[in-house]
A and B are shown apart, each in its own frame.
Chain A
Amino acid sequence: MFSGREALVIGPLLVFNTVYLVQALDMPTPFEAGEPGPAFFPLVLCALIYVSSFGVMFSRRADGDADAGDGGSGDEMPADGKSIRPFLAIGATALFIFMLDTFGYWLSTFIYALTINIIFEYSSGENMRRVGALAVLVSAALTVLGWLFFVKLFDLHLPTGVIWHAG
């Protein structure tokens, strides 16, 4: 039967689907002018989401189903589902996108690489001074490597940072 865990997905999904439905209903009604029109396919998809959501909620299998294996990508459930690291990585990536425009490639990439490095390498019991020193070196090297790769090899333009050009 339906569990609170499934509600974490189904709840927001139904909200999203309803918003999508409202938008689809704002378009011309399908077959009004004799052809399906732009709302037809989205309405079919909306119906499919409602039916499948009920399927997840009331199917006995779905509840214990955590093995969404996806062949090609090794798409299995993370072993440590309660880890805080993924959320730290999301935060670090969001911060990087904010910083890239303002501070430019060099500073923001160095901080981003350093943060991701520490997120992956940190574990209790390790010598943090050694991990930190290595992370700084690796991040600096990656930042330089990235610049050589994007700018020198592929001739792409990277943000230089609006803050350095202000005033």
Chain B
Amino acid sequence: MLADLAGGFLKLFEFWTFLHLVGGFLLGLVFGAIPGLTATLAIALLLPFTFGMELSNALVMVMGIYMAGIYAGSVTGITVNIPGAPSGVITSIEGHPLMKKGHGAKALGLDAFASSAGGMIGALVLMFVAFPMSELALLFKTPDKFSLVLLAVVTVTIVSNGSLWKSIISMTIGLMLATVGIDRMIPVGRFHFDSPHLVEGVGLLPAVIGLFAVCELLSQAAKSTTIKAAVHKAVQPVFKRRDFIPTFKEIRDIGLVTYVKSSVIGTVIGMLPGGGAAMASFIAYAEAKRVSKRPEEYGKGSHEGLAAAESSNNAMCGGALIPLLTLGIPGDAVTAIIFGVLLIQGLAPGPDLLSGSFAALSPMFAALFIASTFVFISILIFGPYYVKITRLNRGMLYSFIAMIAMVGTYASAFSFFQMWVALGIGAVGFFLRAMGYPVIPILMGVILGPYLEEYLRRSMIISEANPMIFLTSPISLSLLALTCVFVYFLRVRRPRV
């Protein structure tokens, strides 16, 4: 395993692989820093192009986008109080007051340092926990796999904000879309209305492009003037590069414990289905405040709160990849799209993946670690220009996104039908979103639906239609109990931000 990991790091020394990592990182920085654009969208746009990429280059680029995108979500939160992504909301609570006090560069420097530390810890956990966990996952039998997928489906449904009924409808629509096409167990077509295109089913790529690129484009079109006005109203500060470097005293005041504890919280939250960066930063921030010697500083520019939130949300990246690579369960939108990247590259995420392809995936682990170090380097290079990113011409930006999304969808299968599917799913997604229905459960339904159905049906066949099979297996029973615990804590006794 260690030799494979070393091979992964060495692979990054190859010119083209390194270039893909840097390219992905820069793309993630831009998409993360611009309000409305996210790492999810950047990876979704990249998805069609991964068809033609070498496996390691595709994975390395995705890791660069992921780490940079999660980090950069906090940059505009600090500078103009408009977080580029939900993961930056907590950071802006502490970072923007520092900015208003004239310590913006310091806030950005501490933010980047914490992100780097958290990202590295999360990547290390991924490297050393994923493989043993995948061996454990090999013990899972069919009913256990069903209960595991059910856990993911239920958790992703209940963590969405708003009406639970609407979340259930969104998830069910996704599961229904997954039933279109040839049945996985008996070779009969379902819900294809005699269309040869629909016999193949609803592809993951048009679903991703529709729900994340087209839907986002339409949502931004609806509110474009609001953000534009807010960004242009903000004062543009002038920073010098040396101002971004935190002093040893500042880091010591925050404390090693804060960095490590927040990173561990972030990694664990990342491993939970539906966790995500926003939840990770909130829980780590709340914990840091609870044990702080200076709780009165929170909300007014606390260095400790800022570091806790940022270490946690970047550590989440490593954690979120663990269930994807070991169990085949994507826990959030980004890992769902990474699931698509792996499928496109001919790799099936699940318990067998790491035992068979650890060496092939090791550049991905190495890239996540190296991308974490890039975060701190990037603030020294690009720090003075971050505010200007938000002032990019939005027409140019969104026409570029629209063009890449639609032409990319066509080019992935040379199919105009795929473009119609992407537009249809995007338009419906936009409408549902505007009416208060979350869209992430739809994508998760499309991805997890085939597995949920297959494991359910296989279990029923094995048990001769006796549902007690799910309660007699200790692993399945534990997972069902865990599902109930999640429902209780995430919905019944829900934490409030």
A36 touches B434 (CB 8 A): no
Q: B186 contacts which chain A residues (CB < 8 A)?
A: 37-38
A83 touches B222 (CB 8 A): yes
Q: B164 contacts which chain A residues (CB < 8 A)?
A: 55
A79 touches B222 (CB 8 A): yes
Interface Cβ pair total, 8 Å cutoff:
270
Interface membership of B460, Cβ < 8 A:
yes
Among residues of B, the one whose C-beta sits closest to the C-beta of A98 is B416
Interface membership of B394, Cβ < 8 A:
yes
A88 touches B163 (CB 8 A): no
Determine how close the nearest CB of chain B comes to the CB of A33; give it in whole angstroms.
10
Q: B435 contacts which chain A residues (CB < 8 A)?
A: 5-6, 8-9, 66
Q: A69 contacts which chain B residues (CB < 8 A)?
A: 86, 160-162, 438
State the CA gap A74–B438 with chains docked (Å): 10
Q: B334 contacts which chain A residues (CB < 8 A)?
A: 72
Pick the contact of A9: B225, B410, B432 (CB < 8 A): B432
Q: Main SS of the interface on chain B? A: helix
Q: How many residues of B contact A (CB 8 A)?
A: 96
Determine how close the nearest CB of chain B comes to the CB of A123; give it in whole angstroms.
5
State the CA gap A41–B481 with chains docked (Å): 23
A85 touches B224 (CB 8 A): yes
Q: B433 contacts which chain A residues (CB < 8 A)?
A: 68, 75, 77-78
Q: How many residues of A contact B (CB 8 A)?
A: 85
Q: A117 contacts which chain B residues (CB < 8 A)?
A: 395-396, 398-399
A45 touches B179 (CB 8 A): yes
State the CA gap A119–B169 with chains docked (Å): 32
Pick the contact of A36: B219, B394, B437, B461 (CB < 8 A): B461
State the CA gap A38–B431 with chains docked (Å): 30
Pick the contact of A72: B49, B220, B333, B453 (CB < 8 A): B333
Interface membership of B480, Cβ < 8 A:
no
Q: Per-residue 0/1 for B68-98: is the Cβ within 8 Å of any A Cβ (1 yes, 0 no)?
A: 0000000000000000011100000000000
State the CA gap A78–B215 with chains docked (Å): 11
Known: A80-B226, A150-B407. A113 touches B190 (CB 8 A): no
A83 touches B436 (CB 8 A): no
B396 touches A67 (CB 8 A): no
State the CA gap A34–B461 with chains docked (Å): 8
State the CA gap A20–B176 with chains docked (Å): 9
Interface membership of B41, Cβ < 8 A:
yes
Q: Sort A-B residue pairs by CB-CB distance and give the 4 closest, nearest first.
A: A78-B222, A55-B165, A121-B395, A69-B161
**A–B Cβ pairs within 8 angstroms, 11 of them:** A40-B460, A66-B435, A67-B436, A94-B423, A96-B406, A97-B416, A97-B419, A112-B402, A116-B398, A120-B220, A120-B221
